[in-house]
């Protein structure tokens, strides 16, 4: 099953040869929609295969597949609209200083994209996921390095996507699939690969990122690596609705057996009666959560060892002890620690690192200076959340605005009075954040994810007859564009 270097080379070369078939936007959009249609038709066997390999359950997997199909159709709509091309036309202006020549700018596909599938989402962040969908939408063929936790599902999905491609005259090579650790390294180093998307661990992602940068010709590497996703609960919020916040936290940190990249892993909770009620509510809810199966035994062993090491630190308590459940399962739980233990360097820094699985750390603070001190020690995150009282949310006292200002530098998505699990596929979404959450400033979810696989090019003083149709004055493709400083919303110029 492990791909050799020759097999990786053949997959990449086949992908490059398929690129011309994606040049037509109408073909790309139709391909994406057909892919969604055929995935839905194959729902039964796909979900069955994914459940057998991941134990995520038919309900969760059916919903994830629906999200994946929605994602494909969303990118098809983006391709049809054409705004992602970023067309800008400036005619000569001799009065400007310095003078402006005739300039016409738009974006073109990078080339072959390597996609590294995630373990925890066998559909939405794997072979047919957002990286693949956005790359194909940009006009880039894809070679996916399958995740070892769901190889059979990956093969089945790849077959469906190739069937969709064939219906529109697109060669099979437009979607390559390789297996194996060495194949993943060969892929990022291949000279015909022009960009890469990754979702996984800090260690694995950083190794590939470094390999991408060390190539004779470095390439962009858009990696999602790890995130603690801190939550701050104000004293007023805990007093107002501590029980509700505790129950919500339990649902978020145990969702999918804690295997979501945006699971809240550190929660700052005030000392006092409101915080005590929150912790009591959290204890009751987590205690009633059934043990679950992690994606593989390696993850299970890492989780069990990780929570044991964290629980052994001084002043760390375990109101509900996380760790091994049955022979293949793990039990959810949480740790508590005085926030003061996290304000300076030491052994407790381990509590500021992501622990993949159903566990979170509740840090009890005594005043706002401890909140600031702990937040100041955090690395970059995908999300940061604040739970406010109704008065604070309305702007009273300025506390809400002050906390948002503290959290914004830490994350790509900032939430108020919600929970980070559940990443909507929407035009305004941003799923990324400062390192190590991601290795770039882009998003892997939402319409603007397509921008990762495009590069701008400008034509200067180019005769109309030689310009690509996207940049001609008459706008024969009816594209949205900026024309001599004025936005135009599409429609061919008569």
Torsion of CA 339, 340, 342, 345, to 10 degrees: 180
- As a whole number of angstroms, the distance between CA 253 and CA 260 comes to 8
DSSP 172: G
Give the chain's radius of gyration (CA, Å). Answer: 25
* Residue 179 near residue 185, CB atoms below 8 Å: no
Catalytic residue among 69, 140, 261, 355: 261
- As a whole number of angstroms, the distance between CA 175 and CA 166 comes to 11
Nearest CA to 27 out of 174, 196, 176, 195 is that of: 174
What is the number of helices (H) and of strands (E) in the chain? 14, 20
Q: Please, where are the H alpha helices in 320-429?
A: 368-375, 390-393, 399-407
Nearest CA to 278 out of 245, 251, 308 is that of: 245
Strand partners, 454: 109
Interaxial angle between packed helices 43-54 and 58-81, expressed in degrees from 0 to 180 and rounded to the nearest 10: 120
CA 71 from centroid of its chain's CA atoms: 13
Tokens encoding 208: 């590939």
SS3 content of the chain, % helix, strand, coil (to 5): 45, 20, 35
* Residue 142 near residue 136, CB atoms below 8 Å: yes
DSSP 271: S
* Residue 120 near residue 295, CB atoms below 8 Å: yes
Q: Other C-beta atoms within 10 Å of 493: how many?
A: 11
Beta-sheet strand order (sheet of 175-178): 175-178, 142-145, 112-116, 193-199, 221-224
Nearest CA to 356 out of 197, 465, 230, 228 is that of: 228
Reply yes or no on whether 140 is catalytic.
no
Catalytic residue among 64, 224, 235, 370: 224
**Annotated active-site positions, please?**
224, 261
């Amino acid at each position: 099953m492990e791909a050799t270097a020759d097999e990786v080379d053949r997959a990449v070369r086949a992908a490059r040869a398929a690129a011309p078939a994606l040049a037509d936007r109408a073909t790309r959009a139709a391909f994406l929609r057909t892919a969604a249609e055929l995935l839905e038709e194959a729902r039964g066997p796909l979900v069955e295969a994914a459940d057998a390999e991941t134990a995520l359950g038919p309900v969760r997997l059916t919903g994830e597949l629906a999200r994946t199909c929605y994602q494909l159709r969303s990118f098809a709509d983006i391709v049809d609209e054409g705004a992602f091309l970023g067309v800008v036309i400036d005619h000569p202006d001799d009065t400007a200083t310095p003078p402006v020549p005739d300039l016409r700018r738009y974006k073109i596909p990078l080339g072959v994209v390597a996609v590294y599938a995630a373990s925890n989402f066998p559909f939405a962040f794997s072979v047919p996921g957002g990286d693949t969908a956005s790359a194909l939408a940009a006009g880039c063929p894809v070679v996916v390095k399958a995740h070892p936790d769901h190889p059979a599902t990956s093969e089945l999905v790849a077959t469906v996507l190739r069937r969709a491609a064939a219906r529109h005259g697109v060669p099979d090579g437009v979607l390559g699939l390789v297996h194996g650790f060495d194949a993943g390294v060969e892929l990022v180093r291949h000279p015909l690969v022009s960009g890469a998307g990754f979702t996984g661990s800090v260690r694995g992602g950083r190794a590939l990122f470094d390999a991408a940068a060390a190539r004779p010709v470095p390439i962009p590497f858009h990696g999602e690596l790890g995130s603690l996703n801190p939550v701050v609960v104000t004293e007023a919020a805990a007093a107002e609705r501590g029980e509700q916040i505790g129950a919500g936290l339990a649902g978020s940190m145990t969702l999918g057996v804690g295997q979501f990249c945006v699971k809240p892993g550190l929660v700052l909770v005030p000392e006092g009666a409101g915080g005590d009620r929150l912790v009591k509510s959290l204890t009751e809810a987590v205690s009633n959560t059934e043990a679950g199966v992690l994606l593989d035994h390696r993850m299970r062993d890492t989780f069990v060892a990780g929570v044991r090491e964290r629980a052994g630190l001084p002043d760390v308590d375990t109101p509900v002890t996380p760790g091994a459940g049955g022979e293949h399962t793990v039990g959810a739980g949480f740790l508590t620690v005085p926030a003061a233990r996290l304000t300076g360097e030491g052994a407790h820094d381990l509590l500021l690192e992501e622990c993949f699985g159903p566990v979170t750390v509740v840090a009890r603070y005594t005043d706002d200076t401890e909140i600031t001190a702990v937040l100041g020690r955090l690395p970059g995150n995908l999300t940061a959340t604040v739970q406010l009282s109704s008065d604070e949310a309305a702007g009273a006292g300025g506390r809400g605005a002050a906390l948002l200002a503290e959290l914004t530098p830490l994350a790509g998505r900032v939430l108020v009075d919600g929970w980070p699990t559940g990443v909507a596929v929407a035009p305004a979404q941003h799923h990324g954040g400062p390192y190590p959450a991601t290795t770039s400033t882009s998003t892997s979810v939402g319409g603007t994810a397509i921008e990762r696989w495009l590069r701008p090019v400008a034509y200067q003083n180019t005769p109309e007859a030689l310009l690509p149709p996207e940049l001609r004055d008459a706008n024969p493709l009816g594209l949205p564009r900026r024309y001599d400083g004025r936005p135009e919303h599409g429609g061919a110029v008569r």
